[in-house]
C-alpha cells in the first residue's frame, strides 16, 4: 500500500526532527562542555537510522524482499533504548 502524502510528511518530518535534536544537543554540549550531552547526541544517531529504515521500507512499498528491515529496526530500537538508558543512569553530572 502506498503511503499518503500526509503520512510521508510525518515520516520525513520525524526524521528531520531527530537530525535537528541531535544538532541542538551537540551545540549545547559544546557550550556547556558537557560529556553527558555529547554522549546523548551520539546515542540518538541510532534513532535516526531507525527513521531511515522505516522510510526505506515504505518507499519500496513494503516488498517482501525487505522484510529484514523490520527485524533490523526492532533490534536497533532495543539497542538504542538500552544505550540511552545506560547513558542516563550512569550520568554523574546531574
* Tens-digit pLDDT profile for residues 21-40: 999 999 999 999 988 999 99
Domain assignment of residue 94, yes or no: no
Q: Do residues 19 and 67 lie in contact, with contact meaning Cβ atoms separated by under 8 Å?
A: no
Tell me which residue range forms the domain holding 25.
Answer: 5-89
Q: Is residue 75's pLDDT more than 70? A: yes
Cβ neighbours for 91, distance < 8 A, ≥ 6 positions apart: 36
Query: Which pLDDT value is given to residue 31?
Result: 95
Query: Which pLDDT value is given to residue 1?
Result: 55
Domain assignment of residue 77, yes or no: yes
Domain assignment of residue 16, yes or no: yes
Question: Considering the chain, what is the average pLDDT of its residues?
Answer: 88
Domain assignment of residue 35, yes or no: yes
Average pLDDT over residues 49-64: 85
Domain assignment of residue 18, yes or no: yes
Categorize the per-residue pLDDT at 93 as very low, low, confident or very high, splitting at 50, 70 and 90.
Answer: low
End-to-end Cα distance, the chain: 47
Structural domain count, the chain: 1
Amino acid at each position: 500500500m502506498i503511503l499518503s502524502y500526509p503520512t510521508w510528511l510525518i515520516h520525513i518530518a520525524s526524521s528531520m526532527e531527530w537530525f535537528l535534536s541531535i544538532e541542538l544537543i551537540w551545540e549545547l554540549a559544546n557550550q556547556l562542555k558537557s560529556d553527558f550531552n555529547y554522549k546523548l547526541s551520539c546515542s540518538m544517531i541510532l534513532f535516526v537510522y531507525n527513521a531511515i529504515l522505516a522510510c526505506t521500507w515504505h518507499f519500496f512499498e513494503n516488498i517482501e524482499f525487505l522484510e529484514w528491515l523490520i527485524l533490523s529496526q526492532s533490534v536497533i530500537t532495543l539497542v538504542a533504548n538500552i544505550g540511552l538508558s545506560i547513558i542516563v543512569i550512569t550520568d554523574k553530572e546531574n
